[in-house]
Amino acid sequence: MGCKRLPQTDKHLIHALIAATGVSSVVTQLYAIRELLSQFSGNEFVISLIIFVWLILGGLGTLTAQTANRFRGVSLTALGWLSLLLACLSPGLILAIRFLRTALFTTGVSVGFYPVLGFICLVVGPLTFLVGFLLPYSLYSLRRKVPGYPGSRVYITDNLGDVSGGALFSFLLILFFTPLQALLLANLPLGLLSLGLIFLSARSNPLLLPAALLLVAGLGLPPLLSVQSLSTGHSGNLIHYQESKYQRIEVFRHKGQVTLFGDGGPMYSSRSSFLAEELVHYPLAQLDEAPQDVLLISARSDMLREIEKYDPDKVTYVELDPALTRVQFQYGLLQEYPGLRIIHQDARRYLSRTKQTFDAVIISFPQPQTFKGNRLFTREFFHMVQKHLSPSGVFSFSVRGYANYLSQSQERIVSCLHRTASQSFSRVLLLPGRRTVFLCRNGPLTANIPQRLRERGIRPPYIQGYFSGTVTQERISRLQERITSSAPVNRDLDPVLMRFVFSQWFAKHASSPLTFFALLGGLGIVYLLLSSREELVLFSTGFLTMGSEILIIFVFQIVFGYVYSMLGLIVTAFLAGLLPGALYGERLQYRGRRMLMATDLGLISCLGLLLLLLSLGWADCSKWIYLGLGFGIALLCGMQFPVALALKGDTDSVASKSFSADLFGAALGALLISVALIPYLGVTLAIMALMGLKIFSISLVGTPALGSNKR
Amino acid sequence: MNRRTFLASGACLALSLACPPCPWIRNEAWAARDVTGEVFRDDAPDTLWKWSKEAFSYSRLDQGRVLCNVCPHACVLSPGDRSVCRNKINHQGSLYTLAYGNPCSVHLDPIEKKPLFHFLPGTSAYSLATTGCNFRCRNCQNWQISQKKPSQVRHQDLFPGEALKEASESGASSVAYTYSEPIAFIEYMADLAKLARDKGLANLLISNGFINDTPLRELCPHIQAANINLKAFSDEIYRTLNGGRLEPVLETLRTLHGEGVHLEITNLVVPGYTDDRDMVKKMCDWITDQLGPDCPLHFLRFIPRYKLDRLPPTPIPLLKDFRQLARNRGIRYVYIGNAPVPEGLNTYCHHCGELIIRRRGYQAPELGMEKGRCPSCGTEIPGVWS
């Protein structure tokens, strides 16, 4: 080798830099997802779009780095500057998302599929591109000094950084820091190492001081702008801000009114008694006697005040997020009640463990927009509620109301839930209003709420005044007429409701994802037709890895009711599996096709195990199973890459194509699993579809032509 | 990767970064600060349907194009095009409405729900709407019909004759053209209004007021009361939140007042948009100056809905403040709706402050008047009371 050796300190510095890049990229990605979900009231479409764009633009960054290498535009100094740029941009990304959301879109307006896609490309794209660019660029920088420097070391170091980033996010950052503080901490090592590299590569560099200032500004300023960035576009003053384990909580006070925002959307406001009256009195008015124990799952402002009018012995309020209830009481959005018992637990988990029965179970949770919310609107959950009702007990929940016309998309949602509730209750009555309230009981139900309330001597002003003009017999009859008896039943693992909710989301924004998917499908078909069999295998592997990750995230949400605090761990489990997989795969690559088939079978087995857990009802036995499954799947997928590469011949061109195949599969997997396969086929069939993909992959591997030039 | 593939990759990246957002940025961001609707090119059905009728007010232009004269959008439609309001099409060089006799929403509502507080209180209004609207309000509570084409919804077969029969049988005192935007189904409204008037039923126009002067004046003889939603006293907000303009609406208010139609005004107080005190002050001054002090004004509380769902509801103290402000500026009858403010629904004598009408939501109000006069001081209370 004609080149000088790279000093040991420089090498260590560069390796540390690569690891720090891994930490930065994973933490930034997780917080970017979090921020975008909050800014766009994100549903599964938004999550999958973020991952899709991240993968595609990151991949383009990687390909561009190869080109930079070809044109000899590689140096350690440039690596230092680019890494510094990444460190400075990452915290700024969160600010950019917040400020540009306000700058580009009308304040207070929610936006649809294409604007979200455009926003993600525009705002998150440059950073993902840079992240994708930096890893190979680091390798080329090293090779410029030490030709033939093993790429696997860079890959391993990066992966270690990724895993560390995931762990850091899950065990430290999410628990103790706000996003901007967390990003400062996660990017500080990268920034300092970048400065070190700039210094080492040119010790008398006059730009060192500006670089240091840039770092201080890039990392130090964003946390200082935290409150301003959150207040942008809001009337009133931000009086409380908190990142709980489950959501972002902001409280604004404006002209004496307090409004609590959860994940960016208004949840509760003071003086909102109209809705509280509907949600409380419609079910409780059905009871002949005063209720002994009322179960409240999630609670809107003033609900406890309305319940108090019935003087129940006990009110059990179940809310997963302790921070939320604390804030509700702190700012007077809920009032203390002598018999009030607050349970900070997932409602399903609580019901599955308690033997208590209730005279009324009231869900005030809004119409589900995500899989997480859907789990309180399924047959399984309704059945669980029914088991915990006293013989004359009543259950109520509600979905979005309508003013004067029940749209077809809402009609499908209402019909689906009516059919689902009818599986557990002999009577289901629907009352139109601000929300469409479902009253469920194995006994008589009446729509004459004002009359029942008069009999009890309760006079809630809204119902007394407005019921007769809003919930007329004619409107009730028309609503009941729209119920389709053949509507599908919404189930835990077949969340058909989400299909209708997604379609309503598109109807609201007068758009359709078909153009996007048609374009993507067309490109996909062309790509697959032009791909070699090895690339197809890797495509299926990428699809399965990302598809499984998304699947596990969503199944976890469905089973446990939350995912935010576990998101980092799940991602970490996948990242942690890829690294040993790749190392092990390199060692066993001589086994060629047999190795690919064995790993494919292993993947099918992992998915089969998940299927078994779900079908046997053991899905909630332990959270660690999901992490273990994620690790296992990633391990097997990681093993396939070097094997497939070896089969095809490990050249730069092959590596690039293989990488593209893996990446394209991953991007497509993320998208299709979340927005097409789960809502349209259900979780079970989505898992089977992934298994089918791998069976197809085995058939390709089993074909003699594969790798015949090598083995 | 060779130079060509590098360039291709670069182009792809540029496309992915630049092209996809471009139309969205145009539509949703910069230019979309103005959400004014556009003509739907080549969107008309090939054939007319049962609920088509040639439009009342349009001009024929060259090359088969037509100009709709109903509202200030002045849609110029080539054959096969559909209007901004979604209801009108150019069919072979003539303008047709597709919203005639096919209401998608028909209900019997208390007249207070419109809201009309000074017109036949305690009576019912036979209320109907077809699809369509010439606005694009981001907070529309009826977007499921206002932002749809006639063929996109379920509808009833209810031509003016049958609608009148139903209205009469329902016990209603009036027919309200409401929910979506009656200007978008003006032909249906006008024909039904003529029949209803002959039958002794009042006609209520519940509208955004975005209509040209000529068709409005033609309509006025058949309309007895109107509630016009003055969405903001700012042209910019009209463009941003509603896709309309302020001046034509003000012109409509002047015309209705001048033509002797009983007029009430609704103003939705949207936090961050129409909650500016100075703007409200100007609006009140304009009302007293142009329409007089007797035109009732309803401040409505905003509730997050449709696309404008990331704002909080309007603070109640703000509504109360605006009510007082409007009274101080000379408007005699100011109400608060959609909020738990009981006194905001009541009518007090502007002269002596006596409670004249106590309202409890949509329940029949308790009238304390004697022949339209305050029982305490005898002052005439403006309105149509029987």
For tokens 């599996």, what's the residue?
A577
Looking at the DSSP assignment, which residues form a beta bridge with residue B207? B228
Q: What is the 3-state secondary structure (H, E, C) of A550-606?
A: HHHHHHHHHHHCCCHHHHHHHHHHHHHHHHHHHHHHHHCHHHHHHHHHHHHHHHHHH
User: Which phi and psi (to 5°) does residue A491 adopt?
Assistant: -125, 165
Q: Is A408 exposed, middle or buried (0-12, 13-18, 19+ CB in 10 A)?
A: middle
Nearest to A183 by CA among A167, A193, A195, A168: A168
Query: pLDDT value at position B334?
Result: 98
Confidence of residue B122 (pLDDT cuts 50, 70, 90): very high
The answer to whether residues A616 and A649 belong to one domain is yes
Query: pLDDT value at position A596?
Result: 82
Secondary element (H or E) of residue A3: none
Kindly state whether residue B90 falls inside one of the protein's structural domains.
no
Number of A to B CB contacts under 8 A, please give it.
194
Query: Which of B27, B144, B240 has the CB atom closest to A405's CB atom?
Result: B144
Secondary element (H or E) of residue A201: helix A179-201
Query: pLDDT value at position A556?
Result: 86
Residue A401: give its domain's CATH number: 3.40.50.150
- Roughly what angle, to the nearest 10 degrees, separates helices B3-18 and A125-145? 150
Query: pLDDT value at position A412?
Result: 95
pLDDT (mean) for A342-347: 92
Q: Where are the alpha helices (DSSP H) in A202-335?
A: 208-224, 226-231, 273-284, 303-308, 322-330
What is residue B341's DSSP assignment? -
A669-693 residue pLDDT tens: 988 888 788 878 888 899 999 999 8
A475-516 residue pLDDT tens: 999 999 999 989 999 998 888 998 899 888 888 888 888 888
Q: How many angstroms separate the CA of residue A41 from the nearest CA in chain B? A: 9
Q: Which chain B residue lies closest to A127 (C-alpha atoms)?
A: B17
pLDDT (mean) for A271-287: 92
Confidence of residue A649 (pLDDT cuts 50, 70, 90): low
A115-155 residue pLDDT tens: 998 999 999 999 999 998 888 888 888 887 787 777 767 77
State both tokens at B323.
Answer: 């009510």
Residue A267 in contact with partner chain B when CB distance is under 8 A: no
Confidence of residue A711 (pLDDT cuts 50, 70, 90): very low
**pTM for the complete prediction?**
0.88
Query: Which of B10, B28, B107 has the CB atom closest to A105's CB atom?
Result: B28
B23-48 residue pLDDT tens: 444 444 444 478 999 999 999 999 99
The answer to whether residues B232 and B371 belong to one domain is no
Query: pLDDT value at position A696?
Result: 86
The answer to whether residues A277 and A260 belong to one domain is no
The answer to whether residues B323 and B356 belong to one domain is no
B37 with B73: CB under 8 angstroms? yes
Q: How many angstroms separate the CA of residue B339 from the nearest CA in chain A? A: 8
Query: pLDDT value at position B25?
Result: 45
Distance in angstroms (rounded) separating the CA atoms of residues A346 and A668: 32
**Helices and strands (H, E) in chain A, number of each type:** 28, 11
The answer to whether residues B254 and B360 belong to one domain is no
Query: pLDDT value at position A560?
Result: 79
The answer to whether residues B219 and B337 belong to one domain is yes
Q: Give the A window 34-63 contacts with B, CB below 8 Å.
A: 41, 56-57, 60, 63
All residues of chain A having their beta carbon less than 8 Å from the beta carbon of residue B359 are 465
B123: domain range?
A: 105-344
Query: pLDDT value at position B49?
Result: 96
Confidence of residue A653 (pLDDT cuts 50, 70, 90): low
DSSP E strand stretches across A300-388: 314-318, 340-343, 358-363
The answer to whether residues A183 and A258 belong to one domain is no
Query: pLDDT value at position A260?
Result: 94
Confidence of residue A73 (pLDDT cuts 50, 70, 90): low
The answer to whether residues B307 and B370 belong to one domain is no
Residue B244: give its domain's CATH number: 3.20.20.70
The answer to whether residues B319 and B261 belong to one domain is yes
Query: pLDDT value at position A74?
Result: 76
- The alpha carbon torsion through B75, B78, B79, B84 (nearest 10 deg) reads -30
B95 with B68: CB under 8 angstroms? yes
Distance in angstroms (rounded) separating the CA atoms of residues A557 and A571: 14
State both tokens at A153.
Answer: 């070391």
Residue A521 in contact with partner chain B when CB distance is under 8 A: no
Kindly state whether residue B14 falls inside one of the protein's structural domains.
no
Percent of chain A at pLDDT exceeding 90: 41
Mean pLDDT of chain A: 87
Distance in angstroms (rounded) separating the CA atoms of residues B335 and B337: 6
The answer to whether residues A547 and A566 belong to one domain is yes
Query: pLDDT value at position A261?
Result: 92
- Contact across the interface for A122 and B154, Cβ inside 8 Å: no
The answer to whether residues A88 and A141 belong to one domain is yes
A316-331 residue pLDDT tens: 999 999 999 999 999 9
Kindly state whether residue B74 falls inside one of the protein's structural domains.
no
Kindly state whether residue B250 falls inside one of the protein's structural domains.
yes
Residue A573: give its domain's CATH number: 1.20.1250.20
State both tokens at A392.
Answer: 């004359």
pLDDT (mean) for B213-236: 97
The answer to whether residues B291 and B302 belong to one domain is yes
Lowest mean pLDDT among A444-458, B27-41, B139-153: B27-41
pLDDT (mean) for B59-79: 97
Give the sheet arrangement for strand B53-54, strand by strand.
B53-54, B94-97, B88-91
Query: pLDDT value at position B269?
Result: 97
A565-605 residue pLDDT tens: 677 788 888 888 888 888 888 777 667 778 888 888 999 99
The answer to whether residues B281 and B377 belong to one domain is no
State both tokens at B13.
Answer: 């990246």
The answer to whether residues A278 and A250 belong to one domain is no
Query: pLDDT value at position A225?
Result: 87
* Residue where one domain finishes, among candidates A464, A493, A522: A493
Higher pLDDT, A677 or A704: A677
All residues of chain B having their beta carbon less than 8 Å from the beta carbon of residue A261 are 312
Kindly state whether residue A505 falls inside one of the protein's structural domains.
no
A382: domain range?
A: 272-493
pLDDT (mean) for B333-354: 94
B291-313 residue pLDDT tens: 999 999 999 999 999 999 999 99
Percent of chain B at pLDDT exceeding 70: 92
Confidence of residue A3 (pLDDT cuts 50, 70, 90): very low
Distance in angstroms (rounded) separating the CA atoms of residues B267 and B336: 10
**3-state class of A138 per DSSP?**
helix
A154-192 residue pLDDT tens: 777 888 898 899 889 988 998 889 999 999 999 999 999
Inform me whether the pLDDT recorded for A209 exceeds 90.
Answer: no
pLDDT (mean) for A521-545: 84
The answer to whether residues B271 and B329 belong to one domain is yes
Q: Could you give the number of structural domains in chain B?
A: 2
- Contact across the interface for A60 and B29, Cβ inside 8 Å: no
For chain B, report the end-to-end CA distance as a whole number of angstroms.
85
Distance in angstroms (rounded) separating the CA atoms of residues A477 and A267: 31
- Contact across the interface for A508 and B129, Cβ inside 8 Å: no
Rg (C-alpha) for chain A, rounded Å, is: 28
All residues of chain B having their beta carbon less than 8 Å from the beta carbon of residue A129 are 13
Residue A115 in contact with partner chain B when CB distance is under 8 A: yes
Give the best residue of B144, B152, B155, B277 to mutate against chain A (max A CB count within 10 A).
Answer: B144
Q: Could you give the number of structural domains in chain A?
A: 4
The answer to whether residues A11 and A26 belong to one domain is yes
Query: Which of A122, A405, A472 has the CB atom closest to B145's CB atom?
Result: A405
Nearest to B210 by CA among B239, B187, B188: B239
What is residue A294's DSSP assignment? E
- Contact across the interface for B110 and A469, Cβ inside 8 Å: yes
Query: Which of B28, B143, B312 has the CB atom closest to A115's CB atom?
Result: B28
The answer to whether residues B256 and B353 belong to one domain is no
Distance in angstroms (rounded) separating the CA atoms of residues B163 and B106: 9
Higher pLDDT, A705 or B106: B106
Higher pLDDT, B76 or A247: B76
Query: pLDDT value at position B302?
Result: 96
All residues of chain A having their beta carbon less than 8 Å from the beta carbon of residue B316 are 256-257, 271
Residue A253 in contact with partner chain B when CB distance is under 8 A: no
Kindly state whether residue B50 falls inside one of the protein's structural domains.
no
Distances (CA, A) of B327 to B353, B376, B384: 12, 20, 21
The answer to whether residues A485 and A582 belong to one domain is no
Distance in angstroms (rounded) separating the CA atoms of residues A573 and A581: 12
Q: How many angstroms separate the CA of residue B346 from the nearest CA in chain A? A: 13
Confidence of residue A618 (pLDDT cuts 50, 70, 90): confident
Confidence of residue A6 (pLDDT cuts 50, 70, 90): low
The answer to whether residues B259 and B385 belong to one domain is no
Query: pLDDT value at position A75?
Result: 81
All residues of chain A having their beta carbon less than 8 Å from the beta carbon of residue B110 are 468-469
The answer to whether residues A31 and A179 belong to one domain is yes
Q: Do you know the residue count of chain A?
A: 711
B1-13 residue pLDDT tens: 333 333 333 444 4
Query: pLDDT value at position B331?
Result: 98
The answer to whether residues A609 and A483 belong to one domain is no
Query: pLDDT value at position A561?
Result: 72
Residues 6 or more apart in contact with residue B80 via CB below 8 angstroms: B41, B42, B43, B44, B89, B90
The answer to whether residues B209 and B351 belong to one domain is no
Q: Which chain A residue lies closest to B311 (C-alpha atoms)?
A: A108
